Amino acid sequence: MTASGRPPNQLLQMLDTASFDLLRPHLVTIELVRETVLSQADVALRHVYFPHDGAVSIAVSLSEGQIIEVAMIGRDGVVAGGAALADGIAVSDAVVLFPGAASAVEISAFRNVAAASVPFRGLVIRHEQALFARAQQSLICNTLHPVEARLARWLLRAHDLSDRETLPLTQETLAQMMGVRRNAVSLVAHALQRAGIIRYSRGQIEITDLRALQATSCDCYFAAKTDHARLLGLPP
């Protein structure tokens, strides 16, 4: 819990007192174990999740068997909130990427609170707009920008959510999340390591020069942060 007595999730911190009091009895703290599947596309939801730390990858599976990440959610968001407000059927897969903790809410309780609280419902809707904007930005980035800039953007987002310089990641996972070949990630990672921007060993990547990594990234990283703040009514 933070000094406010609320879990360390940005949306829960932003809720007005009346709305949070409605939600509080239904919040259950759980551990986010790496590779745990929180939701599956086209399957009925059981819970909605407000991460405290760690990160959850929102991904879509293609018919060829390839999995591509469309967004990453952490302590600044909610997992499956939009689908819960709709028909309760997940529209994508949600898998724990970095371990941590979260507040879980049963979908029936979540929907009841949303029905009773206009501010809560509005906050979830604004978050879904921000998530959609981030996914759009990611699509544009993946279409137009080189792998080096895309990798830097992805690592910066992961750093923002985990708040740590060392990330438990393999090059294979990175390639899968970004939808590129592993050898492309390997070449770029070698170049970034030679430049002193990252250091990687088996199973983990350490960011050693955050400013240089920001300079390597494209403007999509900052554009997504700006959109997120604007849509949620946060300071830029």
Q: Is the pLDDT confidence value at 65 over 80?
A: no
Q: Which residue has the higher pLDDT, 148 or 66?
A: 148
Position 178 confidence tier, pLDDT thresholds 50, 70, 90: confident
- Give the range among 59-63, 72-76, 89-93 with minimum mean pLDDT: 59-63
Q: 185: domain CATH number?
A: 1.10.10.10
* Residue 104 included in any domain: yes
Q: Is the pLDDT of residue 49 over 80?
A: yes
Residues 120 and 174 in one domain: no
77-124: pLDDT as tens digits: 999 999 999 999 999 999 999 999 999 999 999 999 999 999 999 999
pLDDT band of 164, cuts 50, 70, 90:
confident
- For residue 191, being part of any structural domain is answered with yes
4 within domain boundaries = no
Specify the pTM: 0.93
CA distance 93 to 80: 10
Q: What is the mean pLDDT of residues 192-213?
A: 93
Find out whether 207 and 198 touch, Cβ atoms under 8 Å. Answer: yes
Q: Is residue 23 part of a domain?
A: yes
End-to-end CA distance of the chain: 25
Average pLDDT, the chain: 92
Pick from 91, 125, 159: which residue ends a domain?
125
Separation CA 236–CA 174 (nearest Å): 29
pLDDT of residue 3: 58
Instruction: Assess if residue 232 is contained within a domain.
Output: no
Give me the DSSP letters along the chain.
--TTSS-S-HHHHHS-HHHHHHHGGG-EEEEE-TT-EEE-TTSB--EEEEESSSEEEEEEE-TTS-EEEEEEE-TTS-BSHHHHHTTSB-SSEEEEEE-EEEEEEEHHHHHHHHHH-HHHHHHHHHHHHHHHHHHHHHHHHHHHS-HHHHHHHHHHHHHHHH--SEE---HHHHHHHHTS-HHHHHHHHHHHHHTTSEEEETTEEEES-HHHHHHHS-THHHHHHHHHHHHHT---
**pLDDT one-digit tens code per residue, 6-28:** 999 999 999 999 999 999 999 99
Is the per-residue pLDDT at 2 higher than 80? Answer: no
pLDDT value for 142:
84
Q: Is the pLDDT of residue 4 over 80?
A: no
The parent domain of residue 190 ranges over: 146-217
What dihedral angle (degrees, nearest 10) is formed by the CA atoms of 43, 44, 50, 55? -10
